[in-house]
Amino acid sequence: MAKPSPRAVADLAYLKERHPDTQTTEIDNGNVWVALELPIPAGWGVITVKLWFSVPLAYPATPPDCFWVEPQLTINGGVPQNSQHNYQMPDLSRSLHWFSWHINNDNQWDGNRDTLMTWVTACRKRLDQVK
């Protein structure tokens, strides 16, 4: 069983300090799935979501990519931009609301500087857009 890097373990501990409700699930391939409650703008019709993302084995050289939320969100009754309802989560036997979102939508990832908090902030910025 592959294990997350010491940096991933440290960044997960810091994330849990900032978001005490954070839950993690280690996968045999070394990925770690993270779930935490995240407040979002009222324009989505809910005030919080459970944010899910995967920390890849190659983290921090490779950043997290895409995220999932529950419950499923809609905009004017439709699916938000760059997202899909009931999309399979790799490594897990779950399908949730998937957002195709990448750190490069905001800026370039620097594994020496950026942390999992950088990723959570990027996800929050996407959800702040309510589109």
What CATH number should be reported for the domain holding residue 106? 3.10.110.10
Report if residue 56 sits inside a domain: yes
CB-based contacts of 33, cutoff 8 Å, min separation 6 = 24, 25, 27, 52, 53, 54, 55, 89, 91, 92
Report if residue 26 sits inside a domain: yes
Report if residue 34 sits inside a domain: yes
pLDDT, residue 104, reads: 67
Indicate the number of domains in the chain: 1
State which residues of the chain have pLDDT below 50: none
Report if residue 1 sits inside a domain: no
Q: Which domain holds residue 22?
A: 6-128
pLDDT, residue 85, reads: 97
pLDDT, residue 106, reads: 53
Report if residue 53 sits inside a domain: yes
Does this model's pTM top 0.75?
A: yes
pLDDT, residue 1, reads: 80
pLDDT, residue 77, reads: 87
Q: Give residue-wise pLDDT tens across range 13-30.
A: 999 999 999 999 999 999
Report if residue 123 sits inside a domain: yes
